[in-house]
Amino acid sequence: MKPLVAAGTAVACALVAIGAVTAVVRLAERERSDPARCGPGFSPSEGRCCPQGQKSARGRCTGRAISCPAGFHATASRRGCAADERRLKYVGGTLSIAADDWQTEGVVQPRTALIAPFALDANEVTVERWEHCVRAGACRAVGDAEPGLPVTSVDPKEAERFCRLDNGRLPSGDEWLFAAMGVEGRRFPWGATGLVCRRVAFGLVEGPCASGGGVELAGTRPDGATPDGAFDLVGNVAEWTTERDGTHVARGGSYKSMAAVDLKSWSAEAAPKAARHIGFRCAYDLTAVSSTSP
């Protein structure tokens, strides 16, 4: 009987090994094939991800949304959906930036920095939020864009002023990096690998994710969120940050980006002025935080 037992054990082990290999292959195929570009509750329409009931026309989601996905609300104008405003709290810690990626050579300077507790918007500041400031007479109008889109074409001074009016400020470069990389030093906000269209709003102008697309509603790629729940830290629109020397850079790449090097957690561009592909989110000072949570 012993040979039979040994043979049975060997077969069982072989089946387990085959199952493990199959799971890995399926995961790899999912990463490559990217079957779902848009998050739950959104449907692909031309180069956009629109709420159910809406269609893209000339790059704009039009019509009446049947419903808004979880984490979104119907806008006051009923012109679609916008991400709920949420702030994430970070207890702070040590930010460690290492040159462990060949694409960091000559671009990223290895260093560490101690980050104090702070809070950060879970989503990019939307046109809806900006319009509240416009109606209060504190911000200039930026055109008739969909309320749920990130506000763009504002320079760092305008973005800083908006945040100050909401008792916040632009995040420092190190705070932004800490949110994107975590204490683990993540290569992408969600982890080490997996730059695919369902995680990031990128390559929407000339591929690889779509053609003729543009800025998406903030928060349409939940698969690319950080473990803490920050959306769109890479892709969609690049984001203004204030650097140690007082200058500003735009971090995280955008819908125009086509290469991974422009979408790593540490990616940044020294943008000289406001641009259609640059937006922002606000940070907030905290004196004491008990945990990192939405």
The pLDDT of residue 253: 97
What pLDDT was estimated at residue 77? 72
- Say what the pLDDT of residue 104 is: 56
Q: Give 231-248 pLDDT, tens digit per residue.
A: 999 999 999 999 999 999
What is the chain's mean pLDDT, rounded? 85
Under-50 pLDDT residues of the chain: 1-35, 288-294
pLDDT in tens, 15-65: 444 444 344 334 334 444 444 789 999 999 988 999 999 999 989 999 999
What pLDDT does 13 receive? Answer: 45
Determine what percent of the chain is predicted with pLDDT higher than 70.
81
SS (H, E, C) the chain: CHHHHHHHHHHHHHHHHHHHHHHHHHHHHHHHHCCCCCCCCEEEECCEEEECCCEEECCEEECCCCCCCCCEEECCCCCCEEECCCEEEECCEEEEECCCCHHHCCCCCCEEEEECCEEEECCCCEHHHHHHHHHCCCCCCCCCCCCCCECCCCCHHHHHHHHHHCCCECCEHHHHHHHHHCCCCCCECCECCCCCCCCCCCCCCECCCCECCCCCCCCCCHHHCCCCCCCCCCCCCEEEEECCCCCEEEECCCCCCCCHHHCCCCCEECCCCCCCCEECCCEEECCCCCCCEC
Predicted confidence at residue 129, as pLDDT, reads 97
Whole-model pTM: value is: 0.84
Residue 109 confidence (pLDDT): 75
